[in-house]
Structure 1
């Protein structure tokens, strides 16, 4: 019998013995919006397995300007570190859309992984997939217009949430995309005008996902960004851990 059923993609792919052992050191908890999972330059105390909601990894310039460089959801462990032995993390990771998940003490996770190479490989696959996403985000920021980038970002959030609603403000989207709020408003008007979405104060609702995907085109439909190749754990497919 499995220890528990998890909505987190990584936990859902663990073999029963590993999941039973990991359950003993996992702590379920709510993850409200703006909850900080890790602060840049500080020791990593916990690793989080999200089961709902969305976290974002944010880079900050010396002048204090911020931009999102990666999206994390129920496909993820946060922070996405190459090794859980790392003492500090270079970026801010915070909840963008509130949800819940499970956390594990960093030291306890390091001990758990010592004699479990299959679990280490699974986490390595996740980290590789995540940094493919980061690289594609950087490319998209350089070559795509804001309305296309926004379409891609909405799709990536939609992949990681239940339902068609994304609770997010124009100001938050502007910060995540590294642009002015007026630019986000203009881009939302483009997507609304094509009937892909409906946008209101603090909310984006998906109306036509297939057309939104076609509009985002190669900004979204690439490995590490598109959910198309992810194992089935919900009504939409999620991630590329093979």
Structure 2
């Protein structure tokens, strides 16, 4: 019998021996909106395995302007790092949409990974696909209109949440996309006019996922990602988390 069941894709793929050993150092916890997982420039104290909710990795300019450069949820670990032995992280990571998960102290995770190459490979696969996501976001920001970028962002949130509702404000979406609030409002009107979504104050509801995917097209469907690689859509996430 497994030590525990988890909706996190990495934890769900671990074998029983690894899961039993990891259970001893994992701490389940709620992750409310705006909870800071990592603060830029500060030591990384814990690593988080989200099971629900959405975390944003945020870059900040010297003038204080911010934008989301990556999104994390039940598909991986936060912060995404090449090595858990690093002392500081270069970006801010915070819960954009509240949820829950499990965390482990950085030193304890480093000790756990010693002599466990299978687990390290899982983390490496996640990291590889996460940075494909980051690169694709940079490309999308350069070549796609705001309504397409917003459709992509909504789909990526939907992948990492249960149900059709996304608790998010227009201001937060504007901050994450690095645009004015009025631009997000106009883009939402486009998506609502096509009956892809319904948006009200602080809440967005996905009405027609398939049509929203078709509208987002190559902005959402990452090139070079197949069902044999890390999951990018909700159907892959759900299948691997069971």
Instruction: State the TM-score bracket (shorter-chain normalisation).
Output: over 0.9
Deviation (angstroms), 1:223: 4.7
Deviation (angstroms), 1:239: 9.0
Contact 2:126–2:230 (Cα < 8 Å) also in 1: no
Where does residue 121 of structure 1 map in the other structure? Answer: 121
Work out the CA distance in 2 between the residues paired with 1:213 and 1:90.
Answer: 32
Structure 1 residues 136 and 61: alpha-carbon distance in aligned structure 2, compared to 1, 3 A threshold = same
Q: Indicate yes or no: 2:150 matched with 1:150.
A: yes
1:67-106 maps to which residues of 2 (within 5 A)? 67-106=67-106
- For residues 95-121 of structure 1, the C-alpha deviation after alignment (integer angstroms, 9 at most, x for no partner) is 011011000000000000011011001
Where does residue 46 of structure 2 map in the other structure? Answer: 46
State the TM-score, normalizing by the size of structure 1: 0.94
Deviation (angstroms), 1:237: 2.4
Work out the CA distance in 2 between the residues paired with 1:205 and 1:228.
Answer: 30
Q: Indicate yes or no: 2:133 matched with 1:133.
A: yes
Aligned residue pairs: how many? Answer: 240
Structure 1 residues 221 and 227: alpha-carbon distance in aligned structure 2, compared to 1, 3 A threshold = farther
- For residues 139-180 of structure 1, the C-alpha deviation after alignment (integer angstroms, 9 at most, x for no partner) is 000000000000000000001111000000000000000000
1:1-242 maps to which residues of 2 (within 5 A)? 1-223=1-223, 236-238=235-237
State the TM-score, normalizing by the size of structure 2: 0.94
Work out the CA distance in 2 between the residues paired with 1:187 and 1:237.
Answer: 28
Structure 1's unaligned 5+ residue stretches are: none
Deviation (angstroms), 1:53: 0.6
Contact 2:34–2:96 (Cα < 8 Å) also in 1: yes
Q: Which runs of 4+ in 1 moved over 3 A?
A: 223-232
Alpha-carbon RMSD across the aligned residues, in angstroms, is 2.2
Structure 1 residues 162 and 40: alpha-carbon distance in aligned structure 2, compared to 1, 3 A threshold = same
- For residues 3-26 of structure 1, the C-alpha deviation after alignment (integer angstroms, 9 at most, x for no partner) is 000010100000110000000000
Contact 1:129–1:224 (Cα < 8 Å) also in 2: no
Contact 1:168–1:203 (Cα < 8 Å) also in 2: yes
